[in-house]
Structure 1
Amino acid sequence: MSVDAHPPVESHDLTPHLTDGASSPADLEVLREISQRVLWLSSAIINVANRGRENTSGVKVGGHQASSASMIDIMVSLWFSELTQHDRVSVKPHASPALHAINHLLGDLDPKYLTTLRAKGGLQSYPSRRKDPDTVDFSTGSVGIGPTAALWAAMSHRYVKSRFPEAPKAGRFISLLGDAELDEGAIWEAVADPAVACLGELLWIVDLNRQSLDRVVPDIQTQRLQGMFEAAGWQVITLKWGSTISRLFDLPGGDELRTRLEEMPNEEYQRMLRVAPDEIAARIVGETGSQALRDLLSGIDPATLAVAVRDLGGHDIGLLLDAYRTVDPGRPTVIFAYTVKGRGLPTEGHPNNHSALISEAQMLELAAASGVDPEDPWAPLPADSAAAALCRARGQELTRDAVTPTPKISVPSAMTRAHRAPISTQAALGRFLADLTREAPEVAGRVVTCSPDVASSTNLGGWINKTGVWSVNDRRDWFADDAERVLKWAEGTHGQHIELGIAEVNLVCLLGELGATWSRWGERLIPIATLYDPFIPRALEPWSYGIYSGGQSIIIGTPSGVTLAPEGGAHQSIYTPSIGLEQPECIAWEPAFAQDLEWTMLAAMEQVGVEGGTSSYFRLTTRPLPQELANLPEDPTLLERRRRHAVAGGYRLTHHDPATEQVTLVGVGAIMPEVIRAAELLGEQGITAGVVCLTSPDLVFRSFNRRGSVGTRSEGDDIVDVLFPEQHRAPIVTVMDGHPHTLSYLAGVRGDRIRCLGVSEFGQSSSLEDAYALHGIDTAAVVDAALGLLGR
């Protein structure tokens, strides 16, 4: 709609002004110059990746020019003015090119990498702490997990400093996240944790560009999101309008202008950014605009108005710097910074700009606007310029001291307890941790346990009574004088158990960051988490991402399988054994006996919190097993041989000559009594049955898969040949309380015929015997499978 003609009015001065305490105009000009260069570099990094390299596969390279552009002013205000070397920042996944551009200007990224985005050995698609060549504090890319990683890192550092006061200091833990990430449940599980409200070192900045991958978000409901943060105890700061347009709001008609812009639907606002400058006033006035509003807008040059309507808080560097100075250090803070997606690019505000690549002609225009020669896209800023001087100074200021690792800690290979009475592996875990404090106190001092409100039901009670519960602040124990209380719950800054709410995602995210303290601050921890095994899949993705990011830890799923028969189908786990086998940089364990649990736990702990280490996943149960079934050798040499086999993945329980073996029974975990009994019954029928107990189907598979490979072999690599001698073939029956395909690879070890018994259907509440019979993993089923393979 056209604007009615009116007498000309006085034009308005829209020169940006500074609020009290902000940087000088000269400083801001330097920061804006750097911001423009970062816009160019991030866009060029993506452009070269897509147009500057040969692509014979036809698979798009991709990148996110618009998503980087919306975050650039925020990032420049931080890296070139606000951060210290002690701060750690999580950067939203799609702003990785902006991060690399900034690191390049700071001297932290060699120019040779600027052409390698998404190429082998080059810059990763999303920030990667371990795979990128420059400084990346947190791996992001799993939406919603990256922002919370900084939160759990803050808590982990608090824990480290409370236990080891000499540990290096840390600054703020900052998360830069896109508004669409606030749809993720992981965000709100973390924000709602009661301990988080005490973490004043947390600062989140939300890039509120009101666009997602596919569309302009119709109703971002910012007030509701702000209220949710406030209810959780966070300070909330909103930067909606920049200082330039704010000056217009103070003029006659300005209140109506502000109201109109703020009540305008997101889609209408974004559409307004796409029209010619001389159409903007008419779109603002609409059909109901007052004369005062018309007068105000008619006095503004269209080009100037086009700049003004884009003047949002997230692009006003002076306003951002002011906001940082108002942060309350006593509680976490979130800044909602309104931005334009694609800010400064021809695609800004377009609903489909998420993965859009600006044209070659548009790249030339951007180069001209940035003062860059497109033939020399990576040329440095003029050496004598204030911008170059600031980059050099900030590069030096942000350089971090080298991390000094914890002196080597010797983890014993075994302990002294004799395991005689029937006991479950879950109960054995609790006993093991209690013994550890006595037999290996230095190791025990590095252990930190976590659980999502299941500490007592996963047998951590004894450990907690010995070490206490860690809390951000000391808390009074009102039940300290209760003589009938078995589990002591003294919370303070010196405990070694961290209890979270029933939120498995929080648990494993914290676990990953506790497992990264050795590489962040040089303090080794051995984090161990217990949760019910059926919920491992719920926590798998963030735990896997923590491992990808360098967090080494031990996760214990217990109780597991249908062995917890009275609990029924709601709490059974079926496919978790194969999850453990398939997870990179993790060893999956399922020990049957208490001695196996002790040996394998010590082996797992040896590998946590060290360069080149690995995580572990244990699957335990509450079924007590007679420990004499383990048939431990009495001779020390043979006992040590058993230990080596157990930590390599498994051992033979029968001692006959494998050449006489007619069938091999392979069992895992709690099912071993049925396997052993089946071998006895077969023996009564004149059939020699070998029994193999696997402590780690994962390690045995690795041994199988490495056979014939070229390279250095280590102890235990030949375990598959020890368990299944090539020259003594026999049919195999595998049995486990989990999905039977987990062990199906054993058919390929020697080419044997095989029957795989396991659980592949939902269960129901029952006795243990009924559960095993229902799923065909009882003794009778094992005997029947063996006889079937033998043709009887």
Structure 2
Amino acid sequence: MRTTDDVTGAASAGGGAGTCPGGSLDLETLAAVERRVLWLATSVIDHANRVRPNPSGLKVGGHQASSASMTSIMTALWFAQLGREDRVSVKPHASPVLHAVNYLLGELDESYLTTLRSFGGLQSYPSREKDPDPVDYSTGSVGIGATAPIWGALARRFVNTRFGGGGSGRQYALLGDAELDEGACWEAVLDPAVADLGEVVWVVDFNRQSLDRVVPNISATRLQGMFAAAGWQVITVKYGRLLRELFARPGGDALRARIDEMTNPEYQRLLRCSADQLRERLPGSGPGRETIAGLLSQLDDRAVVAVLRNLGGHDLGALTDAFARIDDTRPTVVFAYTVKGHGLPTAGHPQNHSALLTGEQMQQLAERVGADPADPWARFPEGSAEAVLCERTAARLRREDRRPQQPPSLPEDFGRTPSGKGSTQQALGRALLDLTRQAPQAARHVVTVCPDVASTTNLGGWLNKVGTWSPTQRRDWFADDAETILHWREQPGGQHIELGIAETNLVGLLGELGATWSRWGTPLLPIGVVYDPFVGRALEPWSFGMYAGGQSILVGTPSGVSLAPEGGAHQSVITPSIGLEQPGCTSYEPAFALDVEWCLLAALANLGRPGGSSAYLRLSTRAVDQALAHVPADSAARERRRKQSVAGGYLLRRHHDPALTIAVTGAMVTEALAAADRLDQLGVGADVVCVTSPDLLFRAVQARQGLQDGPDWILDQTFPRERARPLVTVLDGHPHTLAFLAGVNGMACRALGVTGFGQSGSPEEVYRYHGIDSDGIVAAALDLGTGLR
């Protein structure tokens, strides 16, 4: 337990009466509410595991100890601190506490209290989209819920400077100390964009236990120093009123020094001791032993046991005082020392993480907190001080419904037909610039985000056009430098946000930018651009953002082994199948610049609205001759091609007498067409299908088989039954991404792609190495037995 409570602001010695918005606070009433919250949270878990029938016999689970650890903090925060505009991310294992609080505030119907972790009931962890009561941030993936309020604060500031109406208020994250092991936390803390976010407040439930054990070497002093070095205000709430009063007595300094220098495991073991054992063990063997023993002799047995557990994270006065000292000019972290399982028989036990109270223990808890096991969901009597506090708190926190604005209308086609050679990555930058010219109102809602790769992913023109976002105007010192091509004009009206090199930060912000339509009623069209090989690194927080209702576009570029000279370290293999398999997202891998434009506009049109979804575009730096697209000149035929492109694919080349079909995705279209030409010379005709979205084609297959709702017309136009032939699929990625196409018409198939780590070389060498060059395609076609041995 090595630290002091003098690090940048300890709790006031007196504890104080505490105040809440609008007046003074009665700590006795608050303590009564805290006891009821503890009972309700514990009972919700107990009912799910011990009362509700469980025919399957599978463990239901829940975290009574983790919830008890947070009860004081959450009671003090909700009933004495929060304002209407504040938002809170609650650590995953404290979700029953959140539901208990919402129930007392009238925001959750009693019928849901018996449904924890049941189908359609209260979710295992807080969920914005699936829980029936108010949840500000979805949590569940450790570390991501902690950082979400940071990106929520940044997203709201963007909305306010660009459009207004985002409101104000603090963004709280309640997290366990073990969450600070997650790199995502420190990547967010250290990003330069975070240092000025004074509305961000982290409250750390510092119970020094993880899932498996007491953490032996966790050091609050080290953690506090890391936050302080990043520019955060650090507030420590270590000891409660009883301990502070004891420290003030003669000999109290020796006791304080003993506890301060005690290791975490020794302290936790003492929590499990009787009064007699504490009188023997707590004084230790140092020079202050006799002094400490004398101090303890002044206390009765009950006080000896209680005083060691009297930590600041369970002292309502100390907590409210700490919250009152938050400095809104910089981010703040509050270290609140707690006992895991506080108030329960399992308190401090090293294996209490998933421990459940027995029926007898629940009865004893009810007696101690003044609850009735026969009526476990009883509210406070009408007119009581506790009921009045709940009513006033509910009125103070009740938010007005914000009706989401209609997203801006978007064109479906700019009407331009690209020519010459170009890559899909270049097409992204051009499409964004075209949007500013042809649909300026929609373009105003676009915000791009990069982790220091804007220039290398062809966003330079867009960035120069719209400027970089900053909450305040900053001088561009290179504005008069003729050799500077990329200009960083930082201003409140900018539309590009450049973060440091951390993909998790990028997608965390992307998710929150994509949620502004539901939080504050202002729809944004967020596009994040990242190197495709690092999509896997960013996937979990982006996926969680989608689960929480964030709608955005992630662009992975450059991609595949087409980035040949960069070698295997920068060549992506699994990302095409990731896009296909990711829920809440539509994946595209266009081959031509016009496909990029069409798919991007379709993806943008699906953002910022109820029922909308995200999109992933996998783009390439490999230049492709745009004439190979053979875009129809006729307006009706062009529109037919566009609809097919955004639906998943189109028949690019139609042979008069096909013996096989080649289905190709992305930059490999050049090799596919070259192989078709060579096969034609060998007397083997081939149709070539350009697959723009394996994802949408797979959904169409599922719809045709009755496994999900949706259209399947695109299959009849890309793979018509009358032209069903043996199939070769090829892409710059894992071959199983397209292998399912063999089942469209039940034909033999050879699936070509990349299944191993790459190496440096020219594209021709690398393609040959992986067997995806035109030779490989021709050989695969012949192996299908199409008439030429």
- Partner deviation per Cα, 1:50-107 (whole Å, 9 max, x = no partner): 0112212221000000000011000000111111110000000000000000000000
Secondary structure of the residue that 2:448 maps to in structure 1?
Answer: strand
> Among 281, 284, 296, which residue is 1:283 paired with?
281
Give distance in 1, aligned partners of 2:724 and 2:708: 27
Residues 122-131 or 410-419, more deviating: 410-419
The residue type paired with residue 93 of structure 1 is P
Q: Would you say the 8 A contact 2:655–2:686 is kept in 1? A: no
Q: Which residue of 2 aligns with 1:5?
A: none
Secondary structure of the residue that 2:623 maps to in structure 1?
Answer: coil
Give distance in 2, aligned partners of 1:135 and 1:20: 29
> Among 726, 734, 743, which residue is 2:738 paired with?
743
Secondary structure of the residue that 1:727 maps to in structure 2?
Answer: helix
2:624 corresponds to 1:625: yes
Secondary structure of the residue that 1:270 maps to in structure 2?
Answer: helix
Secondary structure of the residue that 2:687 maps to in structure 1?
Answer: strand
Cα distance, 1:564 vs. partner?
1.2
Q: Which residue of 2 aligns with 1:696?
A: 693
2:55 corresponds to 1:67: no
Q: Which residue of 2 aligns with 1:101?
A: 100
Cα distance, 1:721 vs. partner?
2.3
Q: Would you say the 8 A contact 1:17–1:244 is kept in 2? A: no
Give distance in 1, aligned partners of 2:407 and 2:615: 20
Closer, same or farther: CA 753–93 of 1 in aligned 2, 3 Å: same
Q: Which residue of 2 aligns with 1:678?
A: 675
The residue type paired with residue 277 of structure 2 is E
Q: How does 1:252-331 map to 2 (within 5 A)?
A: 252-288=250-286, 289-331=288-330
The residue type paired with residue 241 of structure 1 is Y
Q: Would you say the 8 A contact 1:117–1:123 is kept in 2? A: yes
Residues 555-564 or 475-484, more deviating: 475-484
Q: How does 1:388-787 map to 2 (within 5 A)?
A: 388-656=387-655, 660-709=657-706, 713-714=710-711, 717-787=712-782
Secondary structure of the residue that 1:588 maps to in structure 2?
Answer: strand
2:40 corresponds to 1:41: yes
Give distance in 1, aligned partners of 2:289 and 2:42: 41
Q: Which residue of 1 aligns with 2:10?
A: none
Give distance in 2, aligned partners of 1:279 and 1:299: 16
Give distance in 2, aligned partners of 1:731 and 1:21: 76
Secondary structure of the residue that 1:159 maps to in structure 2?
Answer: helix
> Among 188, 191, 215, which residue is 1:193 paired with?
191
The residue type paired with residue 764 of structure 1 is Q
2:150 corresponds to 1:155: no
- Partner deviation per Cα, 1:442-493 (whole Å, 9 max, x = no partner): 1110000011100000000000000001123322211111011111111122
Q: Would you say the 8 A contact 1:145–1:542 is kept in 2? A: yes
Q: Which residue of 2 aligns with 1:10?
A: none
Cα distance, 1:21 vs. partner?
6.1
Closer, same or farther: CA 414–143 of 1 in aligned 2, 3 Å: same
Give distance in 2, aligned partners of 1:404 and 1:202: 26
Closer, same or farther: CA 745–332 of 1 in aligned 2, 3 Å: same
- Partner deviation per Cα, 1:328-363 (whole Å, 9 max, x = no partner): 110010000000000000000000000000110000
- Partner deviation per Cα, 1:109-144 (whole Å, 9 max, x = no partner): 000000000000100001111000000101111000
- Partner deviation per Cα, 1:742-762 (whole Å, 9 max, x = no partner): 111111111100001111111
The residue type paired with residue 391 of structure 1 is C
Secondary structure of the residue that 2:335 maps to in structure 1?
Answer: strand
2:169 corresponds to 1:179: no
- Partner deviation per Cα, 1:637-668 (whole Å, 9 max, x = no partner): 111100010000000012345xx321001110
Give distance in 1, aligned partners of 2:709 and 2:514: 28
Residues 47-56 or 599-608, more deviating: 47-56
Q: Would you say the 8 A contact 2:406–2:609 is kept in 1? A: no
Closer, same or farther: CA 547–776 of 1 in aligned 2, 3 Å: same
Give distance in 2, aligned partners of 1:744 and 1:438: 40
Secondary structure of the residue that 1:117 maps to in structure 2?
Answer: coil
2:109 corresponds to 1:78: no
Cα distance, 1:275 vs. partner?
1.4
Q: Would you say the 8 A contact 2:19–2:80 is kept in 1? A: no
Q: Would you say the 8 A contact 1:340–1:349 is kept in 2? A: yes
The residue type paired with residue 64 of structure 1 is H
Q: Would you say the 8 A contact 1:147–1:177 is kept in 2? A: yes
Cα distance, 1:409 vs. partner?
1.6
> Among 168, 171, 181, which residue is 1:170 paired with?
168
Secondary structure of the residue that 2:243 maps to in structure 1?
Answer: helix
Give distance in 2, aligned partners of 1:750 and 1:591: 24
Residues 98-107 or 290-299, more deviating: 290-299
Give distance in 2, aligned partners of 1:479 and 1:17: 55
Q: Would you say the 8 A contact 1:280–1:302 is kept in 2? A: no
Question: Where do 5+ consecutive residues of structure 1 fail to align?
Answer: 1-15
The residue type paired with residue 748 of structure 1 is G
Q: Would you say the 8 A contact 2:198–2:330 is kept in 1? A: yes
Give distance in 1, aligned partners of 2:782 and 2:284: 85
The residue type paired with residue 117 of structure 2 is R
- Partner deviation per Cα, 1:506-564 (whole Å, 9 max, x = no partner): 00000000000000000100100111100000111111011111111000000000111
Question: Where do 5+ consecutive residues of structure 2 fail to align?
Answer: 1-12
Q: Would you say the 8 A contact 2:17–2:317 is kept in 1? A: no
Q: Would you say the 8 A contact 1:724–1:749 is kept in 2? A: yes
The residue type paired with residue 321 of structure 1 is T
Give distance in 2, aligned partners of 1:77 and 1:408: 39
Give distance in 2, aligned partners of 1:20 and 1:760: 65
Give distance in 2, aligned partners of 1:761 and 1:408: 43
* Identical amino acids, percent of aligned pairs: 58
- Partner deviation per Cα, 1:753-777 (whole Å, 9 max, x = no partner): 0001111111111111111111111
Secondary structure of the residue that 1:275 maps to in structure 2?
Answer: coil
2:337 corresponds to 1:342: no
Closer, same or farther: CA 157–58 of 1 in aligned 2, 3 Å: same
TM-score by length of 2: 0.96
Give distance in 2, aligned partners of 1:713 and 1:572: 34
> Among 229, 232, 242, which residue is 1:231 paired with?
229
Cα distance, 1:25 vs. partner?
9.8
Q: Would you say the 8 A contact 1:237–1:334 is kept in 2? A: yes
Q: Would you say the 8 A contact 1:154–1:173 is kept in 2? A: yes
Closer, same or farther: CA 728–22 of 1 in aligned 2, 3 Å: closer
Give distance in 1, aligned partners of 2:228 and 2:112: 42
Secondary structure of the residue that 2:510 maps to in structure 1?
Answer: helix
Closer, same or farther: CA 677–389 of 1 in aligned 2, 3 Å: same
- Partner deviation per Cα, 1:673-693 (whole Å, 9 max, x = no partner): 111111111111222210100
Q: Would you say the 8 A contact 1:204–1:333 is kept in 2? A: yes
The residue type paired with residue 589 of structure 2 is E
Cα distance, 1:168 vs. partner?
3.5
Cα distance, 1:17 vs. partner?
4.9
Q: Which runs of 4+ in 1 moved over 6 A?
A: 23-26
Q: Which residue of 2 aligns with 1:9?
A: none
> Among 208, 211, 223, which residue is 1:210 paired with?
208
Give distance in 2, aligned partners of 1:781 and 1:602: 34
Cα distance, 1:621 vs. partner?
0.6
- Partner deviation per Cα, 1:304-349 (whole Å, 9 max, x = no partner): 1211111111011111111111111100100000000000000000
Closer, same or farther: CA 148–353 of 1 in aligned 2, 3 Å: same
Residues 759-768 or 187-196, more deviating: 759-768
What is the aligned length? 772
Cα distance, 1:26 vs. partner?
7.0
Give distance in 1, aligned partners of 2:156 and 2:379: 37
The residue type paired with residue 128 of structure 1 is S
TM-score by length of 1: 0.96
Give distance in 1, aligned partners of 2:139 and 2:154: 18
Secondary structure of the residue that 1:561 maps to in structure 2?
Answer: coil
